[in-house]
């Protein structure tokens, strides 16, 4: 396990930027002498994590698109749409989530500095990664408190279509945020030496996912505010 604590060599972790997307041609990644051993020379699956996360985010976006259209159709289908007041804590939660994205970006730069040997200690990067997660937890707890607020007003899941969609939208989003927290936990663990070393693509993929959760939330908040 001793090797895990060394910052990995640059050429293993930096993927060649040239190959992206469809029709990239060749598809060959990283240096490899002809006739060389496949295991030794093949790029350690750096790219797929980034491609994979975009693909995954496309699916998540599609799910929320379906829910959005369900909302619009449901509203148009009948006359029982009843305006609900969004619990004010939602705006605080939004700030927390945005702050967590900012923290994550700072964290990424600290990780990068550590990886390149510019920063001898992990503590700055770890701090900002933890801050990201704490703010993420604050968001989820805050969402739960928003639910409690609605319940105190007598608005439960089946009460009216507006409340139904509120719980569904915020609930499905929160589940995905929890998934993101799981991903961040994994990143922190790897960074601190548990398991295989942290690869840049893993950190990138986890970050894209986390930022997407923030952007998605802003979109959902907009929909909730306009429609509900």
Partner 1 sequence: MSEAQAHVAHHGPPTTFIRKHIFSLDHKVIGKQYYGLALVAVVTGMVLSWLMRVHLVWPNSPIPGLGLLSKVGAPGGVMTPEYYLSLMTMHGTLMVFFVLTNAPFAAFGNYFLPIQIGAEDMAFPRFNMMSFWTTFVAFIILISAFFVGDGPPLSGWTAYAPLSAVGADSGPGEGLGQTLWGLSIFVFCIASLLGSLNFIATTLDLRTKGMTLARMPIVSWAWFITSCISLLAFAVLLPACLLLILDRVAGTSFFIPSGLNVSDHLQPHQGGSPLLWQHLFWFFGHPEVYIAILPAIGIVSHILICNMRKPMLSHKIVIYCMMGIGFLSYMVWGHHMFLSGMNPFSAMVFSFPTLLITIPATIMTLIWLGSLYGSNLRINSASLFCLGFISMFVSGGVSGFFLAQPSIDIYLHATYFVVGHFHMVMGVAAIMGVFAGTYFWFPKMTGRMMNETLGKWHFYLTLIGTYAIFMPFHYLGLAGNVRRYSAFTDDFLVPLIPVHKFITIAALFTGAVQLIFIFNLIYSNWKGKEAPANPWECTSLEWSTPSSPPPFDNFGGQHVVVYHDPHQYGVKSSTGDYLMQTSPERAGETP
What are the residues binding partner 1 (CB under 8 A)? Answer: 3-4, 6, 8-9, 12, 21-29, 32, 34-42, 44-45, 47-49, 51-52, 55-56, 58-60, 62-63, 65-67, 69-70, 73-74, 77-80, 157-158, 160-161, 164, 168, 172, 196-197, 199, 202
Q: How far is the CB of 58 from partner 1 (least distance, A)?
A: 6
Q: Helix 89-115 and helix 161-191: axis angle, to 10°? A: 20
What would you measure as the largest C-alpha separation in the chain, in angstroms? Answer: 70
Which residue, 26 or 154, is less far from partner 1 as judged by CB?
A: 26
Shortest distance, position 116 Cβ to partner 1, whole Å? 15
How is residue 166 written in tokens?
């509120």
Q: Which residues contact 109 (CB under 8 A, 6 or more apart)?
A: none
We find the least distance from the C-beta atom of residue 173 to partner 1, in angstroms, to be 12
Nearer to partner 1, 45 or 194 (CB): 45
Give whichever of 51 and 123 is closer to partner 1, judged by the CB atom.
Answer: 51
- How much helix, strand and coil, in percent to the nearest 5, is found in the chain? 70, 0, 30
* C-beta of 70 vs 148, nearer to partner 1: 70
- Residue recorded with tokens 């619009």: 72
What is the nearest approach in angstroms of partner 1 to the Cβ of residue 27? 3
d(CA 129, CA 181): 11
Q: CB of 96: closest distance to partner 1 in angstroms?
A: 26
56, two tokens: 């995954």
CB of 95 to partner 1, least distance (A): 27
Are 177 and 136 in contact by the 8 Å Cβ rule? The answer is: yes
The smaller minimum CB distance to partner 1, of residues 124 and 151, is found at 151
Torsion angle (degrees, nearest 10) of CA 201, 44, 11, 113 = 30
Q: Which residues of 17-27 are buried (b: 16+ CB within 10 A; e: fewer)?
A: eeeeeeeeeee
CB closer to partner 1, 133 vs 205: 205
């Amino acid at each position: 396990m001793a090797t895990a604590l060394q910052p990995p060599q640059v050429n293993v972790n930096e993927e060649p930027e040239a190959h992206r997307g469809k029709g990239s041609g060749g598809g060959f990644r990283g240096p490899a002498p002809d006739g060389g051993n496949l295991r030794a020379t093949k790029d350690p699956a750096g790219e797929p994590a980034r491609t994979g996360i975009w693909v995954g985010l496309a699916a998540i976006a599609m799910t929320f698109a379906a829910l959005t259209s369900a909302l619009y159709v449901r509203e148009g289908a009948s006359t029982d749409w009843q305006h609900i007041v969004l619990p004010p804590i939602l705006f605080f939660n939004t700030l927390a989530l945005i702050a967590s994205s900012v923290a994550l970006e700072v964290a990424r730069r600290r990780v990068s500095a550590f990886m390149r040997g510019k920063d001898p200690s992990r503590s700055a990067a770890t701090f900002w990664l933890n801050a990201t997660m704490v703010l993420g937890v604050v968001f989820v707890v805050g969402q739960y408190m928003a639910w409690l607020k609605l319940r105190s007003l007598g608005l439960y899941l089946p009460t009216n279509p507006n409340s139904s969609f509120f719980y569904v939208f915020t609930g499905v989003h929160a589940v995905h945020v929890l998934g993101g927290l799981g991903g961040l936990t994994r990143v922190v663990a790897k960074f601190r030496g548990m398991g295989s070393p942290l690869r840049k693509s893993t950190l990138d993929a986890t970050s894209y996912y986390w930022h997407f959760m923030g952007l998605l939330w802003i979109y959902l908040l907009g929909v909730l505010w306009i429609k509900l």
